[in-house]
Amino acid sequence: MRDRSGGSDRAVSVTVGYVMTLAVSTLLLSGLFVAGGSFVESERERAAQGELTVVGERIAADLGTVDRLAANTASREDLTVERSLTLPDRVSGTGYRIRVRAGDATGTIALESDRTDATVEVPFRTSEDVAVENATVDGGSLEIRWDSDGGDDGNGAVVVSER
């Protein structure tokens, strides 16, 4: 005793099963892409922070070198110190900016990536009688030098500039 009018139900269940499988697969794949994209972005930011930290520490070390030379020289008017520093133009595939901010004997080097949220601040110390001029430069090749006419009081200063 079969009902011959309901014979097309089997074809509907195959089609519904196929559509459901496609929908679930699409949801799973899109979830994987979203999760993978945010993972890659956070890894890129972390890599940029690591690279910026290394760059900042190199700048701080060379600032300290020029500062020590200026502090231990009897006649700063005749002093010539130029320290070339070759840094990468990009970190994690993006450009970056370097801001040098100095106080009396301490300062910070702030490095910011252009496209990621990576920002790093590296502290540095200088001699109390040697000034460091504030500067903002793009990443890449820099020059750290002693300028005998620089500084607020005209007694000279350490200057960071693009090369």
Instruction: Per-residue pLDDT tens, the chain, 163 aa: give them.
Output: 555 555 555 667 788 888 999 999 999 999 888 887 777 778 888 889 999 999 999 999 999 999 999 998 888 888 889 999 999 999 988 999 999 999 888 999 999 998 888 899 999 999 988 899 999 999 999 999 999 888 777 788 999 999 8
Query: Which pTM value belongs to this model?
Result: 0.76
Q: How far apart are the first and last CA of the chain?
A: 94
For 148, the token pair is 């005998």
pLDDT at residue 15, as a whole number: 81
In 3D space, the residue among 138, 158, 160 whose CA is nearest the CA of residue 59 turns out to be: 160
**Strand intervals (E) in the chain:** 82-85, 96-102, 106-113, 119-125, 131-132, 135-138, 142-147, 157-162
For 79, the token pair is 């002093």
DSSP codes of every residue in 49-68 = HHHHHHHHHHHHHHHHHHHH
pLDDT at residue 120, as a whole number: 96
Supply angle C-alpha 81, 127, 148, rounded to 5: 35
pLDDT at residue 7, as a whole number: 57
